[in-house]
Structure 1
Amino acid sequence: MSEDIAAQYRIEAEPYYRAVGSEVELFRAAHARRMPVMLKGPTGCGKTRFVEHMAYTLGRPLITVACNEDMTASDLVGRYLLDREGTKWHDGPLTVAARIGAICYLDEVVEARQDTVVVIHPLTDHRRVLPLDKKGELLHAHDDFQLVISYNPGYQSLMKDLKQSTKQRFGALSFDYPDAGVEAEIIARETGCDLKVAEKLVQIAHRARNLRGHGLDEGISTRLLVYAGQMIAEGIDPAHACQMTLVTPLTDDPDMRETLEAAVATFFTS
């Protein structure tokens, strides 16, 4: 039965990921020891794609949870629900992952309430157990289970950060946007657009990233550059594609939009 469940979480096609350092080797070694891993980096820099790539490479099922402020411990662990046959226990995604030996990826974990996050603590030390208090069960994690979390440390306020008691249960990998040449290669590979066009998109992104903290909360992510490249590859005018994917989503401030539009006009004219 567990193999049937695991099958639906296996990644069938290899996700493209371009390594920019030793992150693949480090994660592989951490997985061999089932070490919990924290991925730290800005929005859209490739953290989720990296986890998908590693799950495929390691042949492990991947269960991803998009964390949010309304998520409760029961959403992660499970709860009793009523159906036509009466009251029945339903495992949450964290419990399913621990049972079947999947990689459980908690995306943007800092968005969850701190009283929710603490339920992962017994899984992230030598115990590797998950207490299911409402069910009266102490679940010992499968030998292949691994917990991975991600968050963007530059975007969090002092009131919304991980506790040290949580941080120090994880090994950590830092991610950032790749160097210009590598990022252009990624965009061209992902979208099918010309490399010269991809290089121009990266230059626009670098100008926007320099504005972070000076009118922008976040710079243009690699993800948004891929969107722009995809639109251009579909035959959309580059200036219009950039307006849709690089300018309008990023800010509503008229002055900042004008600044970004000027950066686009430097490389593309409509």
Structure 2
Amino acid sequence: MKDVISQYRIDKEPYYRAVSDEIAVYDAAYSVRMPMMLKGPTGCGKTRFIEYMAWKLQKPLITVACNEDMTASDLVGRFLLDANGTRWQDGPLTIAARFGAICYLDEVVEARQDTTVVIHPLTDNRRVLPLEKTGELVSAHPDFQLVISYNPGYQSVMKDLKQSTKQRFGALDFKYPEPAIEEEIVSHETGVPREIAGKLVSIAKMARNLKGHGLDEGISTRMLIYAGNLIANNVEAKRACRVALAAPITDDPDMRDALDAAVTTFFG
């Protein structure tokens, strides 16, 4: 059964640039197995942070990308039919609880509320996971921790987390890094010079000011890395910005023109 969990170990250090005291705070939270919530806009580094922390703590990390079609069975497991009849297969949450992994539910608010209720017994002093279909009560491994993420600025009231869920977690707020740090991240991840990384960050800053004024979301750090990778692979800078920055976030012609103007400002 060791092979079940070994595939989730992170052997190579992920690059993560701390912006505050988040590493120390998370270290303290993990030491008491406090369930944690990572809050912040899309593409600001939440997933990379938890990957880095799993590597630092030398714990396996099981990531679940939540969606509105996800059921409780997708998390905890289900019965399957094979040549020998019926067998039970653990879901990712159950595997994490049994073997002591960090379970990361990415964009948890996208899941149905009746699905997220299954995490409640794991996020208080009980630290158990009832498997109703088998009658088993799984006691969480001492190393198990549950981490969730979501983007509070993007969710509608109808899709927000219940207070009964929120209050089971400590929370770390993430935002886009300060320009100098974001330049460092983009340059490191893509290999482009700091001057080009700085121009990309400046474009993102202008676009983020348009959030709520024609754009649902600003340009994320992840998108800047995409643009930088294209530039590093000999795509002309303005074209790279249109492909990686402008086209993905809007189809509105006026917004496209505004973003193109920003790109032209910095790349001529």
TM-score (norm 1): 0.99
Tell me how far apart the structure 2 counterparts of residues 168 and 215 of structure 1 sit (CA, whole Å). Answer: 33
Following superposition of structure 1 onto structure 2, how do residues 10-21 of structure 1 map, counting pairs within 5 Å? 10-21=9-20
Q: Deviations over 1:159-199 (max 9, x none)?
A: 11000000000000000000000000000000000100000
Deviation at 1:11, TM superposition (A): 0.7
* 1:108 alignment partner in structure 2: 107
Deviation at 1:4, TM superposition (A): 2.2
Deviation at 1:236, TM superposition (A): 1.0
* 1:187 alignment partner in structure 2: 186
Tell me how far apart the structure 1 counterparts of residues 3 and 85 of structure 2 sit (CA, whole Å). Answer: 25
Tell me how far apart the structure 1 counterparts of residues 11 and 251 of structure 2 sit (CA, whole Å). Answer: 39
Tell me how far apart the structure 2 counterparts of residues 200 and 79 of structure 1 sit (CA, whole Å). Answer: 50
* 2:23 alignment partner in structure 1: 24
Q: Deviations over 1:29-67 (max 9, x none)?
A: 100100000000000000000000000000000000000
Tell me how far apart the structure 2 counterparts of residues 72 and 162 of structure 1 sit (CA, whole Å). Answer: 16
Q: 2:163 aligned with 1:164, yes or no?
A: yes
Identity %: 70
Tell me how far apart the structure 1 counterparts of residues 124 and 162 of structure 2 sit (CA, whole Å). Answer: 16
Deviation at 1:88, TM superposition (A): 0.3
* 2:58 alignment partner in structure 1: 59
Q: Deviations over 1:101-143 (max 9, x none)?
A: 0000000000000000000000000000000010010000000
The one-letter amino acid of 2:159's match is: K
* 2:119 alignment partner in structure 1: 120
Tell me how far apart the structure 2 counterparts of residues 192 and 199 of structure 1 sit (CA, whole Å). Answer: 13
CA RMSD of aligned residues (A): 0.5
Tell me how far apart the structure 1 counterparts of residues 151 and 84 of structure 2 sit (CA, whole Å). Answer: 43
Q: Deviations over 1:135-159 (max 9, x none)?
A: 0100000000000000000000011
Tell me how far apart the structure 2 counterparts of residues 4 and 250 of structure 1 sit (CA, whole Å). Answer: 40
Count residues in correspondence: 268
In structure 1, the residue corresponding to 2:124 is in which secondary structure?
coil
Deviation at 1:6, TM superposition (A): 1.7
In structure 2, the residue corresponding to 1:153 is in which secondary structure?
coil
The one-letter amino acid of 2:146's match is: L
Worse overlay, 5-14 or 148-157: 5-14
* 2:134 alignment partner in structure 1: 135
Please, which runs of 5 or more residues in structure 1 have no aligned partner?
none
